Amino acid sequence: FEMRADRLALEPLLADAPITSWQLNYDEQTVTNHHGEVIFSVPAEINERVLGATAPPVQTSRFALLSSAYAAEGLSHFIRRFNYVNNVVGSVTLTNAAVNSGVKGIVFTSSIAVYGSRPSLPLTESATPQPEDPYGIAKFAVEQDLRAGREMFGLDYMVFRPHNVYGPRQNVADPYRNVICIFMNQILHGRPMTVFGDGRQTRAFTCVDDVAPLMAAAIEVEAAWNQTFNIGSDQPYSLN
């Protein structure tokens, strides 16, 4: 059972959250408040060695934040088994551990990919998910599993569906994820930016500093539990 704290996802959680004093422990993958209470336990990578194994307890956390996945959406067609093991099996392993450890709820970072490539705009949470690739299918499967866990075990959940998130410490070298990082890598190496079609397509890009604090603050809002939220910028930009 391997875990790695995701600094990109975690550090902004400390900035504007309603609890005044936070401590981030990268070795134990936890965030504690000023009372020393573990607020978040953050397993970011759970590899396939968990198959057939019992997940360890999620310490004594009030909440578990499941924020990381292998988010190569287009590549997921060609790495189907890796995609489902990493994104589905890893997630439900955390859910099992949360149920067995008495965790109050799971905050799950899903993806706008659950809606497919041609959703009607403006896109609202009432839109019917129609994922078109294994990555979106995996994210939606975990959402459904969390709903089933709520019905069976009373485990609360909160689902956020962000889109095109960028920010410090992203992997600029990854050629399959995040168009901003792909463009940065190409510019740094003096290569032309890859633009498909005529470049007039638009995208809204979201800074991690704008979404992570909202996710952190939401855990203190009782009405937000067992709900799903689209989260991110609504300002479109042409790739040209």
What residues act catalytically?
135
Amino acid making up residue 107: V
Q: Which two tokens stand for residue 31?
A: 């965030």
Omega into 236 within 30° of 0, i.e. cis?
no
Q: How far apart are CA 179 and CA 189, in angstroms?
A: 15
